[in-house]
Amino acid sequence: MGIRTVAVFSNPDRHAPFVTEADEAIALGGSTAADSYLRVELIIDAARRSGATAIHPGYGFLAENGGFAAAVIEAGFVWVGPSPDAIARMGSKLGSKKLMIGAGVPTLPSVDLTGMADDEAMAAAAAIGYPVLVKASAGGGGKGMRIVRSAGELVESVRRAEREATSAFGDGTVFLEKYLISPRHVEIQVFGDTHGNLVSMHERECSIQRRHQKIVEEAPSPVVGPELRAEMGEAAVAAAKAVDYVGAGTVEFLLSGDEFFFLEMNTRLQVEHPVTEEITGLDLVRLQLLVAMGEALPPEALSPKLEGHAIEVRLYAEDAMNGFLPAAGRLSRFAVAPGPGIRVESGVESGSEISVHYDPMLAKVICHAPSRREAAMALARTLQEAAIHGSITNRDLLVRILRHPEFLAGDTDTGFLERHQPAELGAPLPSAEDIAAAALAAALDGHARRRSAAPVLRTLPSGWRNNPTDPQVVTFDGPVGEISVGYRFDVSGATVIFGAGEPIAFDHSITEGLVTIEMEGRRRSYRVHADGAVFDVDGPGGHVRLTERDRFPSVTAAHEAGSLHAPMPGKVLEVLVSEGDRVREGQGMLVMEAMKMEHTLRAPVSGTVESVKAAIGDQVEADAALVVIREEES
């Protein structure tokens, strides 16, 4: 469109791809959201300094902040989004519910907790009926949200939701809402202009979630037919008309059978908007800019087509095997191969640092195909073959979801990851055979690099020996524990022994990190990326990370027995135990905040608290000892 772009960035983001992709970038300073991206005056000042004429709020932070929109307009800039009034009225989940009742849109029972004493909140929850959901009135993305299944959990859940909402959105208002067990989460993309047009652009299903945050999104929904699509679309348009909505927005519903209930309206562009773009052929950001310029929606947007099926997954730096704990650190390599129908929208690149200050989403990977099954299978293969090194991610979890029989049958709802344990689905994908072959590839790559680094060896034929020798043995720590690889080259060829097994003949070639191995009649290639003693191997069976054991390891101090360590850098919010307390394995010990979420750290063993090494407000580094427990004898 010929529009120049200006990015604003915090200190941790100064080398992020969006900064370098913009025509110009202006530093906000600070590290936390409160010190940077939530500073309205800094963003408006950056716009003035750059000579910009318009401000697009993006997906989060101030995107649904009516005060920010008003400040932008008052400062003389074009606001790319709905009016401040529409944002404010829909931004309050409590206020928007009242609007929806007036507009005839079905809603779930709810109660505002503002100013309520604990006993009043208990009575309100009992009147609604358990289970209930504590929800932040401002913001979204699963922040400030807790499921409460019994009265004993309510007070603590409310307190934590208020604190998390205050941290994420600057507004700690929370309310109770009836919790539907395992409904579908279906949302309608709406779009309005200043010429009186307001249309539905079909639905997206976002039922597969963790911590109430979507991780798999698709369009169209596998269970929404033409009649229900029209009915939900009309309700969504009615909801948007109630606030004279202009621009891109999403009206979210919970779908149970043929009944649907208003959940909330997102007065911004959604993270999952690409799936709508793929099935309609529309560029929603371009339409946002056209509407902000005062133009009418073009004809193709007023009657959007629906072709094929699109699925998006959110790739996170997090450990699905360990309660979805976020993972900070450096991505040594990040490469998702392009392919037919594949689209990648990434916030990172090779060498990027994953900050503890922000949400751990790395990228969105989208596939559009003629059918839902084709989209799922092609997307799963793309993820499995991606080179993602240096951080734990939810990649394996996403691949297993996309290939799961229930998902392929369209049997998805918000309880999917409760029925199918994430720790099980997130387990490493490669088979034992694939891991062994990857270990051989790593050993051969290391052998080739050592030869290349020694000038004298380069003049000798590979494997030349004066007399027969024992195999060269390399031991790795891998996804299933220790892997021992013994290889030998002689005049009769090459052989390998895995662990205590029998010798197996193999042939191989190595070219710039690509190791091709032919063994027992199978020829496969592996891309090996080495970083010191760590080998990331990408092959036909998926990714395998291996760490070569040092044959002469240095002596390091062991962790104190029974000690609880910080799984990531973060801030201590609560200390739940004191010295001398008796605790049981799995009991909550501390509450930490990291990557915009609260995490309860639990006792690794049962015993007596010997010492507490952290206090409320402490900023702790990863692996710092927090609590030491004197373990009970069996």
Q: Domain 563-631: which topology?
A: OB fold (Dihydrolipoamide Acetyltransferase, E2P) (2.40.50)
Calpha distance 530→538 (Å, rounded): 12
CATH number of 6-87: 3.40.50.20
Out of 89, 160, 268, 314, pick the active-site residue. Answer: 268
Convert 392-449 into a string of H (helix), E (strand) and C (coil). Answer: CCCHHHHHHHHHCHHHHCCCCCCCHHHHCCHHHHCCCCCCHHHHHHHHHHHHHHHHHH
Contact predicate 476/442, CB 8 Å: yes
Calpha distance 27→10 (Å, rounded): 6
CATH number of 186-425: 3.30.470.20
- Whether omega before 131 lies within 30 degrees of 0, making that bond cis, reads yes
501 CB contacts (<8 Å, ≥6 apart)? Answer: none
Please say if 268 is a catalytic residue. yes
Q: Count Cβ atoms below 10 Å from residue 208 Cβ, excluding itself.
A: 24
For the chain, helix, strand, coil in percent to 5 are 30, 35, 40
Q: Domain 432-548: which topology?
A: Glycoprotein, Type 4 Pilin (3.30.700)
Q: What is the mean pLDDT of each run of 10 residues along the chain (634 residues)?
A: 96 94 97 94 98 94 95 98 96 86 90 90 92 84 84 92 83 88 95 98 97 94 97 97 97 94 94 98 98 98 98 95 86 92 96 88 97 98 94 94 97 94 83 92 92 64 60 91 92 89 94 92 94 92 90 51 78 90 89 79 89 89 86 70
CB-count exposure of residue 104 (10 Å: 0-12, 13-18, 19+): exposed
Class of domain 111-178: alpha beta
- What pLDDT is recorded for position 557? 39
- How many residues can be counted in the chain? 634
Kindly list the domain boundaries of the chain, sorted by start residue: 6-87, 111-178, 186-425, 432-548, 563-631
Global confidence as pTM: 0.83
Q: At what angle do helices 84-91 and 66-74 cross, to 10 degrees?
A: 170
